[in-house]
Structure formats: structure tokens, C-alpha cells
Amino acid sequence: MYKLLNTATATTESFMVQNGKIYLVMTIVSIILIGLFIYVASVDKKLTQLEKK
Amino acid sequence: MLRAKWWKVLSFVLLLYTCTYGFLVKVPKLDDRLQESIRNFFFHVPMWFGMMILFFVSLVYAVKFLRSGNLVHDVYSFAFASMGLVFGTLGIITGAVWANYQWGSPWVGDPKQNGAAIALLIYFAYFVLRGSLLDVEKRARLSAVYNIFSFFMLFPTLWILPRLTESLHPGGKGSEGNPGINGKDMSATMRTVFYPAVIGWTLLGVWISTIRIRIQLLQLKKDELL
């Protein structure tokens, strides 16, 4: 199991540093985007609750 | 429509696609002056497309308000203009950063840069006008009229004048075609990301606008103006 995890990290790591680490930038931009959408969605939800009152 | 979910999910999916495949898609090399920075087309350019679309929606609601006198239309018009201006501001900032590395200076006085700055200033005055009027009815009426003026100022500042002179932007005098209308100037692979990006960013802008609209409508109801 430990060995399996190790190879998994190894492959992710080698993937992340390919092509001048562009995948790293891609991952970070995606995280920001997901975070932003979660926030906007939560504001939307709160507003819906206010409107129901 | 304000509370529908499907297009918010669509916006998320399209932007996630843009922010992943946008980095992976093969881009043309040409003479390699732009290198990978051509990928800014998926981020910088959709800001302007989004701005124009949101300003157009704002214009439609301004005309609707003038025809109906219904304050709800004013609320819509204002929210879309605000979000359009957010996109425009982000567009000009991202453009300055890109220009700094591509053209050597953040502001090179390119006709399109100058035109965009003028267009944004005209829209900034829309908010000054709104802020200076306290009477709700008068504010709505005057700002709707001014909104129509500011939208039509986009024609000379962004769409006509920059194309009549030589420009560092695509589509200036001497360069073939009109990239604003002729999408063939972009490689087919880039178009598979560019158009989804435009739709995705615009829908995100619409979403944020609707949140603004809903807050404003609640406020109006509370103040018993509706």
C-alpha cells in the first residue's frame, strides 16, 4: 500500500513538473476558479434564503 | 431566470474547461514573438467581449426603463453596467501587464488602448451621475439617457477609430481582415477554447449581476419603493 502511494505521488510529481511546470499553473488557476465559484454560489444561496423571508 | 441553476453550472464547466484546456491546447508558433502569451486570448479578450455584452444588456434595460418607467428595469440596467465596468477594468489591467512584456511598456499609447480608456472613463461618469442624484426617479431617468449615450460611444472609441490607424492590436490599418468579426484570423484549435471562454466569462458576469439585482430589489422592497 505504502509503495502504491509512493508511486502515485511520484507520478503526480513528475506530471506536475512537465513542460516547464505549466500543469502546476493550470492546477493553481483551477483551484482559484473553484474557490471563486464556491464563494459566489454561497452568496447566491444566502440571498435566496433572505428572499424567502 | 434570475434564480435558474443550469446556466450557472454551464458557466463553471466552461471556465473550468478554459482554465485547464486553455493551458494545454496547441497554439500556433508563428515567429515566436508571442510565445505562450497568446493564451491570454482566453482570459484578456473575453473580458472585453463580456464587457460589451453586459453593456449591451444594460442599454436594453435603460431603453426599457425609459419606455415603462418601471424602477425594476433601472435596477437591471445599473447592475449590468457595473459588472461590465468590472470586466472592462480587468481587461485594461490585464492588457497593461501583457503590454509591459510584449510591447515594452504598460501603456504604449496604442489607439485601442487609448480608445478603451476613454470608453471606460465615459462609463465611470455614469456612476458619478448616479451618485450625484438623490431622487430615485430622476436618477433612473437621467442615468438611462446617459447610458444610451455611453453605449454608443463604444462605436467610435473601440470599434471604429482603432481600426482606422495602425495599431499593435489585431485589426488595425494595414492588417488584413477584422478580427472583431472575422474569427478566421484565429487558429481552429484556439477557437475551441476561445468561444467557450467568452461564453463562460460572460455568464459569470451575468451571475454576479443577478446577485446585485436581487440585493437591490430587496432593498427597494424594504424602502417600499416597489
To which residue does cell 507520478 refer? Answer: A11
To which residue does cell 419603493 refer? Answer: B225
Q: Alpha-carbon distance B147 to B133, whole Å? A: 15
When mean pLDDT is compared across A29-43, B138-152, B170-184, B210-224, the lowest value belongs to: B170-184
Q: Say what the pLDDT of residue B226 is.
A: 75
Are A33 and B204 within 8 A, CB to CB?
no
Q: Say what the pLDDT of residue A1 is.
A: 52
Q: Alpha-carbon distance B54 to B77, whole Å? A: 9
Cα Rg, chain A, nearest whole Å: 19
Q: Say what the pLDDT of residue A8 is.
A: 56
Per-residue three-class SS string for A22-53: HHHHHHHHHHHHHHHHHHHHHHHHHHHHHHHC
CA distance to A19, B39, B41, B98, B193, per residue, from B34 (Å):
17, 9, 11, 10, 18
Beta strand extents in chain B (DSSP E only):
none
Chain A residues at the B interface, defined by Cβ less than 8 Å, are 22-23, 25-26, 29-30, 33-34, 37, 40-41, 43-44, 47-48, 50-51
The range of the structural domain enclosing residue A42 comes to 2-52
ipTM of the prediction? 0.79
Query: Which residues in chain A have their CB less than 8 angstroms from residue B204's CB?
Result: 40
Compare all CA atoms of chain B with the CA of A33 and give the residue at the minimum distance.
Answer: B16
Question: Could you list the mean pLDDT of each consecutive 10-residue stretch along chain A, which spans 53 residues?
Answer: 57 73 88 93 93 87
Compare all CA atoms of chain A with the CA of B215 and give the residue at the minimum distance.
Answer: A47
Q: What is the number of domains present in chain A?
A: 1
CB contact under 8 A, A51 and B24: no
pLDDT tier at B210 (50, 70, 90 boundaries)?
very high
Q: Alpha-carbon distance B96 to B89, whole Å? A: 11
How do residues B1-48 score in pLDDT, each as one tens digit?
A: 677 889 999 999 999 999 999 999 998 888 888 888 889 999 999 999
CB contact under 8 A, B23 and A50: no
Q: Say what the pLDDT of residue B7 is.
A: 96
Q: Which of B19, B204, B215 sits opposite A29 (nearest CB)?
A: B19
For chain B, the residue count is: 226
Q: Say what the pLDDT of residue A11 is.
A: 64
- Sequence spans of domains, chain B: 6-23+36-222
Q: Say what the pLDDT of residue B177 is.
A: 56
